[in-house]
Amino acid sequence: MNTRMRSDQSGRVALFAALAVLAFFAAIPASMWLARPPSDVTQAERLGAELGCTCGTCPHRPMATCGCGFADGMLARLDAEVAAGRTDAEITAILVAEYGNGVKITPEGSGFDLLAWAAPIVLLMVGAVAMAGVISHWRAGSDPAAPAVTGKATGGESAVSDTGASPSRDATDSDRYRSIVERELDTFDD
């Protein structure tokens, strides 16, 4: 019976892990689709939302929404480059050369940038699967329907009693809990 419970638990953990991986790979295209810019936005507005303020006092807000004076200067530079007829890639390259790589809010989609954005998500999913396994293992250890260990058998192995008919769970649990509470209360009386 104990082996069957473990295989059921490992099956549940494997199913949870598969669903988590599937959700991760479904969330990426969905988030990219939802994050696409609207078609009625100007080039300056779109780039102002994609490039961040690098003043050091703001929490890396997009230039278009940052209210500091440094962001106003960056927006003026962005407007000048748009007025000059430059492409998005050219404007981004100019601003990266002037303000550093930190001006980009979103990762490039390859190399270390992608790893830096994907690693926390992957690690959270691995942690969730590990927690599910640990909780499942704990629940199996405290399963009231599990057979009780009665003592030592010959050869040093534990003997397991599985009589099939268990006493009334409510009566034995309430007696056991009552004795635990009484012992705890006795320690406070001293």
Q: Any idea what the CATH number is for the domain that residue 71 is in?
A: 1.10.8.640
Domain count, the chain: 1
Those residues whose C-beta lies under 8 Å from the C-beta of residue 138, and which sit 6 or more positions away, are none
Q: What is the reported pLDDT for 152?
A: 46
Q: Is the pTM of this model over 0.75?
A: no
Amino acid at 136: S
Q: Let me know: does 136 contact 14? Beta carbons within 8 Å.
A: no
Cα separation, 40 vs 43, whole angstroms: 10
Model pLDDT for residues 148-186, shown as the tens digit of each residue: 444 444 444 444 444 444 555 566 788 888 888 888 888
Q: Flag whether 94 is in a domain.
A: yes
Q: Flag whether 89 is in a domain.
A: yes
Q: Let me know: does 138 contact 13? Beta carbons within 8 Å.
A: no
**Domain with 98 in it:** 37-106
Beta bridge pairs of residue 52? 62
Q: Flag whether 149 is in a domain.
A: no
Q: Flag whether 30 is in a domain.
A: no
Amino acid at 125: M
Q: Let me know: does 160 contact 149? Beta carbons within 8 Å.
A: yes
Q: What is the reported pLDDT for 58?
A: 77
Q: Flag whether 44 is in a domain.
A: yes
Reading the block at residue 45, the tokens are: 């507005």
Residue 160's H or E segment, with its range, is: strand 158-161
Q: Flag whether 45 is in a domain.
A: yes
Say how many residues make up the chain.
Answer: 190
